[in-house]
């Protein structure tokens, strides 16, 4: 079993989207492990009160290059969860692109410039489209069927490209059907 306090204790960690459902859960675990966490969230779907006690909260967007540069430089590890959700992305693909792709590029450029230890990018199983079989396997065909899926896959590809081109340590995870305590029933 991984000892989270050993891995994250006293580390400075930035969590983008940390006031959202998944981001606040990640933030809570990091704070409990002793990390010094800063949350960046524009509160599009997140809520300031979801940010756990012990984390610093900055209201702002990953589309704000200067703010992203400043916050990334102050941390050694970045969990990048900020994104427009599938409903918002389908309603406004331009905002989806600006946040999900442009914001991801801002995070990666800032991380490369400040030489962070690692970026953890959160993708989505939506990149598989309508799967041919369940369970989905990581090597199944990718068939993004929505602007959200396209932008999440684009973010994964950008992270991989920054590793290959610049040696920036990145890790991508794909969430699927996340639910649990603290989930907002009013958030589509």
pLDDT attached to residue 117: 96
Higher pLDDT: 10 or 40? It is 40
pLDDT attached to residue 101: 97
pLDDT per residue over 32-85, tens digit each? 999 999 999 999 999 999 999 999 999 999 999 999 999 999 999 999 999 998
**Look-up of token digits 């990718």:** 142
**Omega of the bond prior to 165 within 30 degrees of 0, cis?**
no
Question: One of 148, 158, 163, 175 is an active-site residue; which one?
Answer: 148
pLDDT attached to residue 187: 61
Confidence at 10, pLDDT banded by 50, 70, 90:
confident
pLDDT per residue over 89-127, tens digit each? 999 999 999 999 999 999 999 999 999 999 999 999 898
**Beta strand spans in the chain (E):** 12-16, 36-41, 56-59, 77-80, 118-124, 170-175
Reply yes or no on whether the pLDDT at 183 is more than 70: no
| Percent of the chain that is helix, strand, coil (3-state, to 5) | 45, 15, 40
Q: Is 148 a known active-site residue?
A: yes
**Look-up of token digits 């989806």:** 96
Write down the mean pLDDT value for the chain: 92
Confidence at 188, pLDDT banded by 50, 70, 90:
low
Query: What mean pLDDT do residues 120-144 have?
Result: 89
pLDDT attached to residue 141: 87
107: number of Cβ within 10 Å: 28
Question: Is the whole model's pTM more than 0.75, yes or no?
Answer: yes
């Amino acid at each position: 079993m991984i000892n989270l306090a050993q891995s994250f204790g006293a580390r400075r960690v930035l969590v983008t989207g940390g006031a959202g459902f998944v981001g606040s859960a990640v933030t809570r675990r990091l704070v409990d492990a002793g990390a010094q966490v800063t949350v960046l969230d524009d509160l599009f779907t997140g809520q300031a009160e979801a940010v756990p006690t012990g984390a610093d909260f900055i209201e702002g967007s990953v589309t704000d290059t200067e703010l992203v540069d400043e916050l990334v430089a102050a941390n050694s590890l970045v969990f990048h969860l900020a994104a427009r959700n599938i409903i918002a992305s389908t309603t406004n693909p331009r905002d989806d692109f600006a946040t999900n792709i442009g914001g991801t590029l801002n995070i990666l450029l800032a991380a490369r410039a400040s030489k962070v230890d690692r970026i953890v990018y959160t993708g989505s199983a939506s990149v598989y489209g309508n799967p041919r079989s369940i369970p989905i396997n990581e090597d199944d065909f990718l068939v993004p069927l929505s602007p959200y899926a396209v932008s999440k896959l684009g973010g994964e590809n950008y992270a991989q490209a920054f590793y290959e081109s610049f040696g920036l340590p990145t890790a991508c995870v794909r969430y699927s059907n996340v639910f649990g305590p603290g989930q907002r029933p009013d958030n589509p």
